Amino acid sequence: MSNLALGLPEQILACLFDVDGVLTETAKVHAAAWKETFDTYLKSRAETDAAPFVAFDKEADYETYVDGKPRADGTRSFLQSRHIELPEGDAHDQPGSATVCGLSNAKNGIFLRKIREDGVEAYKGSVRYLRAVRAAGLRRAVVSSSDNCAEVLAAAGIDDLFEERIDGVTIEADQLAGKPAPGAYLAAARALGVDPDQAAVFEDAQSGVEAGRAGAFGFVVGVDRVGQAEALRSHGADTVVTDLAELLERR
């Protein structure tokens, strides 16, 4: 199978995939976990300050402030949008503590509970595309800001389709800047032994397509699951699809 049959330019030798919203239906689980975390905190804060409670919007707030970012960065970004300053705390803070780390830990616990209770589904079109990419001999890596990436891939039954994984654990250990910085994607390209212009990035987050463009990757595919096609294009996507299988039909 040629790159043309995959919807990719001929110079592409490797494909770098985000996970949540691109490969698995976990973006909505993340959004629900963030909402539960922030709404609990915001209600408590409103009661203490006798101020109005304004709930976290799991579409607009999720897409704008937390989608695609490392967990603590997402926490900071949303809090800043509400003009709330909290101490950083540390990784051992109790979930729900009024610190950046405490809220981040709460979100992680809620997310893990949800995927263990409900499981993880991979998008059928994405699995079909992954298998076509593997059959074509292209290199494959996942790039995710989540510390739980390995667990999600295994639960979805697609962990065997990748050669390399750059995730939240790697990002912290190697001190890589989170999206929209391109560091994690550049690390994935290095791990696969290709130059950035020989790799395609697949992302559903605005910050992710920004990272693909900032890293001068050869092709950036935006995956629009929530009606943000124009935003993905404006942030750097070369093309936008609603499902990866659409790329197989562009022959």
Residues annotated catalytic, as ranges? 18, 20
CA dihedral 22, 82, 177, 13 (to 10 degrees): 20
| All residues at 6 or more sequence positions from 199 whose CB lies less than 8 Å from its CB, including other chains | 12, 13, 14, 15, 16, 185, 188, 189, 192, 217, 218
In angstroms, rounded to a whole number, what is the distance separating the alpha carbons of residues 97 and 30? Answer: 19
Sheet with strand 164-166: strands edge to edge: 164-166, 139-143, 14-17, 199-203, 219-223, 239-241
